[in-house]
Amino acid sequence: MSTGALYNDQGGAEAAVEAGQESTPTSSGSGAAFGLFSADFKKNEDLKEMLESSKESLKLEAMKRIVGLIAKGKNASELFPAVVKNVASKNIELKKLVYVYLVRYAEEQQDLALLSISTFQRALKDPNQFIRASALRVLSSIRVPIIVPIMMLAIKEAAADLSPYVRKTSAHAIQKLFSLDADQKEQLIEVIEKLLKDKSTLVAGSVVMAFEEVCPDRIDLIHKNYRKLCNLLVDVEEWGQVVIISMLTRYARTQFTSPWKEGAMFDENNEKAFYESDSEEKKGHTEEKPYIMDPDHRLLLRNTKPLLQSRNTAVVMSVAQLYWHLAPKHEVSIVTKSLVRLLRSHREVQYIVLQNIATMSIQRKGMFEPFMKSFYVRSTDATHIKTLKLEILTNLANEANISTILREFQTYVKSQDKAFAAATIQAIGRCATNISEVTDTCLNGLVLLLSNRDETVVAESVVVIKKLLQTQPTQHSEIIKHMAKLFDNITVPMARASILWLIGEYCERVPKIAPDVLRKMAKSFTAEEDIVKLQTVNLAAKLYLTNSKQTKLLTQYILNLGKYDQNYDIRDRTRFIRQLIVPSEKSGALNKYARRILLAPKPAPVLESSFKDRDRFQLGTLSHSLNSKATGYQELSDWPAVAPDQSVRNVEIIEAVKEWTPTVGKTKQPKSDDKFYSDDEDEKEEEGSDSSGSEDSSSSSSEGLFMYFTMQMFSSCLAAKYHFPRQPCLYQPSMVAVQVILSNSSDHSLEEIHIGDRSPASLSIHCFNTIERLEPEASVTVSMGIDFSDSTQAANFQLCTKEDQFSVSIQPAVGELLMPSSMTEQDFCKEQGKLQGMNETSATITMETANASSQAISKQVLSVANVGVVSSSQNNFSRFAGRTVSSGALVLVSLELKESSTALLTINTEKTVMASMLLRDIKQALTQA
Amino acid sequence: MIHSLFLVNASGDIFLEKHWKSVVSRSVCDYFFEAQERATEPENVPPVIPTPHHYLISVLRHRIYFVAVIQSEVPPLFVIEFLHRVVDTFQDYFGVCTEAAIKDNVVVVYELLEEMLDNGFPLATESNILKELIKPPTILRTMVNTITGSTNVGEQLPTGQLSVVPWRRTGVKYTNNEAYFDVVEEIDAIIDKSGSTITAEIQGVIDACVKLTGMPDLTLSFMNPRLLDDVSFHPCVRFKRWEAERILSFIPPDGNFRLLSYHVSSQNLVAIPVYVKHNITFREGSSQGRFDLTLGPKQTMGKAVESVLVSSQLPRGVLNANLNPSQGTYTFDPVTKLLSWDVGKINPQKLPSLKGTMSLQAGASKPDENPTINIQFKIQQMAISGLKVNRLDMYGEKYKPFKGIKYMTKAGNLCQFRLH
């Protein structure tokens, strides 16, 4: 039986399973083994048969067993031909399991793997996005160099796919192809560049990941997408957030100037004052100082802050490191609370977070001091957590809190975990050297510990006392005597060596004891550890120089023992010491200086944190955790002295905004757009209210060519009008900005005006802040953002006052769901070429004669739709380009003037519903006067 | 990012491996085993271990090490958080996350891991999406599958992955619409020997079980939201609304999820609901020690303190303990020196006590430290911080759901009395 069992183990899991199935006990061991062997052989055969059978269920059963083999790390590669045939199966589960198998073994069976490729190529064209995506996923996971060109092609196509999910998959595929064949880098960068422009939150994380893997140095690709990434960040899935934040940290360090200029005059007091105040308010202060933060820099800080509330610890940590590396010093402390929160998470999370806090707390005690108690050690903590907490507590120690910390340390010394107790003693030593007020207290405490029963505690105390005495050797002969007495009872080599060194170093203070100790050591020399022997030799040499009368013979005896020691270090040292101290003919010159060499005053050791210079690594990284550079670590650059050109981050959309003034045709008008990104929401509000005063604004804006205006009275006491200012929405790029003018027409003041319930419930609205009070006859302009999701469905919501509520419905005209996009005529024609067929809607119209000039056409079209004019070289053509606000799909409008006043109006866009509505609106505008 | 995953059991066997890029030989785990041997306790294995060509990042849950193999720089928390998410998913699917459960469901495990990572980068980690892709195994389904030959891979495609609310399944239908919220608070405290509190903090979570048809939009408001000092949300919670109005507004995922975890501001003084009276002495020279421990309730607003469990690591010199509990049962493990006393419910009229003697190693000197005592307890229907849910409203759907809120207070992992 035992032999059988043995074979079972060797034969691996399949044999074991088999043995379980046919558990017929056989008397002869060899027979059983033979039987098992053949069963094993047959077993693979039967898997093959199962796979080749016509029954789906059998095939599935076989695949499940094969996956079981793979999971256990058993080799199942010989079944490759049988498995690969099932790649085109209709059964989804079977297909998925075949994929699992294929990805695992394709590398080993390259030729056979090629058989499956055509299936995937077909699936890449499937109308269902999920099938396309999964085909690309598997195709790109097959690590067969021959298919690199096919993969490249598939990636390029998928990157232009309409489905964001497929585009996301293509971003993942980029990394896979890159690791398979790095020569494709240039082409892949092109794809990355394209995908970076993508506005979908699904794609953002994955493409940044690809960027980091393939071309982390091409920072120039980020410029144009920086603001978009910042704005999308909150809505990206959590794993993508981590990657984007860490990339943006690197980016910001190359593009903005240091916000720490004022850091020189920054001190702890300042910081303390800051704790009380809310961070939001403080932000305004940066403006007063000569340093002005780049609005884009501020945008990043502002948009990452809410992520501190994420449930994902990696996201919180990455925001914390972003603030640490990028924020003005006084703002960094807002991350403290969140980091401390992470300490209640799993053990492994605690470990990493504590490491980072340890590094931070060296430079910035104040950040964590209020949370000192969170770092108190629990007896249930794992040892590495305990030592990290100890490290942090030591870093936080200062004159004010040292007594509390020392009291806490006292309980740790009594801990049953002796390694931890020893670490505590080290920590006490560090506190004692750092804070001179408590040095004596600590020293006394440590001396008391010398009578502790536990050896490791005593030994550690000796070592620490030695270091402390070195810093102030004057009046401590008592302690040295005490330690000399203890010497016989201490067996830990490091402690014995330390005592010997101390006695030797200060032998003149203990002239009577020192020779006696040497005598004892001479007796036990051969039985000692190497470090103890070395120190004995040292002690002997020093005594020989100071007290040769008593110790000459002893020294010679020890040197003789050392001469024949097994360890060559000790033999070396003995030889060296002998030449140095015992006068002879050869060693004349050096001999004179022996005393000065051996008994020179030695600098005291500096006790400092092992986290001292860990901040050379970016926080939160693997390299930081290991304190050594990991493969692929990207250095965080220093702030540039002068900020690089800021305008590189400007994007066309913002330029299009400048078409606010009714000058048609001139697209490029340089004008500061800083305001759009400036800090305070209030400021934005003010901007709006500047132009308000309900009556004027309506009249002035009706003059404005691009204004689309609607009015709505819905109650006797509160009147609201809304209009579309045709600005990009400040809250979220996918929202349409709406300005609402609220006026109180009743005779009493209204309070707490805010937005209540909305429908459909999923409708995302960026509400305005609650208006506390609106006096009679007064009016106020507020701006809000509504994501219409590119449909003209009305957004309904409740407008509430303290007493009452009214339902409001905002129905956008289709033209307001667009935003202008500026492009050249060539680009326009190119894009138009891509949107042919069912994406094209056209109609021939007969225009009012007054509208026949191109200026008039522009005026009319722009009054209906928020699009940009494309400058045209042909007189009979007028072209306009825009994108839908929510999904960013292109909308191209072109008008070809025919003879007399007929014209061909063409709209190209993938949003066909919008196209037909827009066509109707434009037609109406052009045919009527 | 994540190259491979190995699952290692307590005895150091690799029982599952999965590779997302090219195969990494399982010999890489030898470095892990080395570290495992060096560590005295299973918890002491360092979470990050460098090897010449790879880095191993591991988490320990349910006595299983999940060892991820990394080849280049990546935020370690990213990997750790993901591994914990994997464990949570397994637990969600199989009820428990044990070696046996994983081995029994190896195909589902493989399918899950395949969906959760693509090329080492997390793809779908929301349990609602995963459940649409791969149905959790139930006894009924397993039977049906064997008979009809159908599969546990979802036929539908994971539309949730594309929607604006990726955490919620589409097309949810229930006959009984119900939403339950559990407010669970944990006290972490260290009490010194004189009974005064060294540190004490309260942290809480709101776990929800929501079974509602369609796309409900819920709002939950508190009577005293100011108590919440530091919060972290499930991604479904609208952050802006919380900032502005301190109201939780969200479209919930289907099923069980953690809505919110919070920390109660440390300004509020925390009253520990139990106290300990103790007298543990070792006499020099004698091989006997006295042990006397009494528990009592404190400020529980009339609610009973239940499921009390006391555990203590006695000094190494203690050979055996001969104790007499006034209620409940106690055990003492002479090898690990762990004393645990299952008290049950504390009756304020008759306080539970544990008295007796300990025998010490003959000739050994008296232990110079007293042990620490860890206490666990539960109090039903009370949130110790005083947090109260004001109301729960539902919008977006017509039906009237059944709503329930439960409060509970319990001791955290770290409720500790120091007796020295």
Per residue in A21-39, pLDDT (tens digit) is: 433 343 333 433 343 444 4
Which of A193-207, A372-386, B73-87 is modeled with the greatest confidence? Answer: B73-87
Rg, C-alpha atoms of chain A? 39
pLDDT per residue over A341-393, tens digit each? 888 889 999 999 999 999 999 888 888 988 888 898 887 888 889 999 999 99
What secondary structure letter does DSSP report for A600? P
Tokens of A22: 């046919």
Tell which of B73, B110, B161 to mutate to test the A interface (max A CBs under 10 Å): B73
pLDDT per residue over B94-121, tens digit each? 888 899 999 888 888 988 998 888 888 8
Contact between A343 and A353 under an 8 Å Cβ cutoff? The reply is yes
The pLDDT of residue A264 is: 43
Contact between B376 and B412 under an 8 Å Cβ cutoff? The reply is no
Q: How far apart are the first and last CA of chain B?
A: 47
Q: Can you tell me the distance from the alpha carbon of B184 to that of B382, in angstroms, rounded to the nearest whole number? A: 9
Instruction: Report CB contact under 8 Å: A379, B372.
Output: yes
A632-654 burial, b at 16+ Cβ within 10 Å, e below that, comes to: ebbebeebeeeeeeeeebbbbbb
The pLDDT of residue A60 is: 85
The DSSP line for A750-765 is: EEEEEEEEEESTT-EE
| C-alpha distance from residue A357 to each of A318, A353, A502, A777 (Å) | 13, 6, 36, 56
- A341-370 residues touching B, CB cutoff 8 A: 341, 344, 346-349, 351-353
The pLDDT of residue A553 is: 86
Q: For residue B360, give how far its alpha carbon lies from the nearest alpha carbon of chain A (Å).
A: 16
- A392-431 residues touching B, CB cutoff 8 A: 408, 411, 414-416
The pLDDT of residue B140 is: 62
Residues of A in contact with B122 (CB under 8 A): 237, 239
Of the candidates B45, B38, B78, the one whose C-alpha atom is nearest the C-alpha of residue B63 is B45
Residues of B in contact with A353 (CB under 8 A): 77
Percent of chain A with pLDDT over 70: 82
3-class DSSP state for residue B14? strand
Q: For residue A214, give how far its alpha carbon lies from the nearest alpha carbon of chain B (Å).
A: 13
pLDDT per residue over A541-599, tens digit each? 888 888 878 888 888 898 888 888 888 899 998 988 888 887 776 656 777 777 788 87
Chain A nearest-CA residue for B43: A382
Residues of B in contact with A237 (CB under 8 A): 122, 166
Q: For A380, which of B125, B153, B414 is closest by C-beta distance?
A: B414
Chain A nearest-CA residue for B192: A411
Residues of B in contact with A376 (CB under 8 A): 190, 198-199
Contact between A870 and A832 under an 8 Å Cβ cutoff? The reply is no
Which of A137-151, A696-710, A855-869 is modeled with the greatest confidence? Answer: A137-151
- A36-55 residues touching B, CB cutoff 8 A: none
The pLDDT of residue B206 is: 93
User: pTM here?
Assistant: 0.71
Which long-range contacts does A404-410 make (Cβ < 8 Å, 24+ apart)?
Answer: A404/A372, A405/A372, A405/A431, A406/A431, A406/A438, A406/A441, A406/A442, A406/A445, A408/A376, A408/B198, A410/A445
pLDDT per residue over A432-491, tens digit each? 888 888 888 888 888 888 777 777 787 788 888 888 877 766 667 777 888 888 788 777
Chain B nearest-CA residue for A380: B414
Of the candidates A733, A723, A764, the one whose C-alpha atom is nearest the C-alpha of residue A656 is A733
Q: Can you tell me the distance from the alpha carbon of A885 to that of A734, in angstroms, rounded to the nearest whole number? A: 5
Tell which of A110, A311, A357, A730 to mutate to test the B interface (max B CBs under 10 Å): A311
Instruction: Report CB contact under 8 Å: B111, A96.
Output: yes
ipTM tops the 0.90 cut:
no
Of the candidates A67, A134, A131, A129, the one whose C-alpha atom is nearest the C-alpha of residue A98 is A67
The pLDDT of residue A668 is: 37
Residues of B in contact with A317 (CB under 8 A): 75, 77
